Amino acid sequence: MSSRDAQLLARDAGLDLVEISPNANPPVVKIIDWGKYQYQKMKEQSRAKKKAKSSELKQIRLGLKIGENDLNIKCRKILELLEGGDRVKVMIIFRGREMAHKEIGTELMNKIIEKLGPDIVVDGKSQMSGRNLIFLVRHK
């Protein structure tokens, strides 16, 4: 169809003639409502922006002598953060002579991972940083 005929057709429909592919031979055009098209495109970008939540790194600190109930509360908090889309850095703090018993810290770490369930993944391996045992967890 000639460009003049396409322009007349668009004008009769009260719509706009928009060039889709200018490099094609002949160029491809479409008859659409330009304002509505722009609005839909803007809404689509807004939805994509909402879904693309950047995950933050949250931190939970706990000591070696933590009680069972306190540990359950900390694990519940970690699960809430994970479900929010964040990664969690768990830091087990050693005080004083506790540094001589690093195996207790490792046992506590394994206990925490077990309580969190099968839906979580430990990123990398745990590491000692000064007086702290650190490991990262995230949702599968």
My answer on whether 42 and 62 are in the same domain is no
Rounded CA gap, 83 and 94, in Å?
Answer: 28
Instruction: Report the candidate in 121, 137, 126 with the shortest Cα–Cα distance to residue 103.
Output: 126
> Which one-letter amino acid corresponds to residue 137?
V
Query: Of 18, 33, 51, which residue sits at a domain end?
Result: 51
Number of domains making up the chain: 2
pLDDT in tens, 26-65: 888 888 898 898 999 999 999 888 877 667 899 999 999 9
pLDDT in tens, 61-84: 999 999 999 999 999 999 999 988
CATH number assigned to the domain comprising residue 98: 3.30.110.10
pTM greater than 0.75 (yes/no): no
Domain of residue 96 covers 57-139
My answer on whether 23 and 41 are in the same domain is yes
Q: What is the pLDDT of residue 67?
A: 93
Long-range pairs for 118-126 at CB < 8 Å and ≥24 separation? 120/82, 123/87
Strand partners, 139: 120
CATH number assigned to the domain comprising residue 16: 3.10.20.80
My answer on whether 24 and 76 are in the same domain is no
My answer on whether 67 and 116 are in the same domain is yes
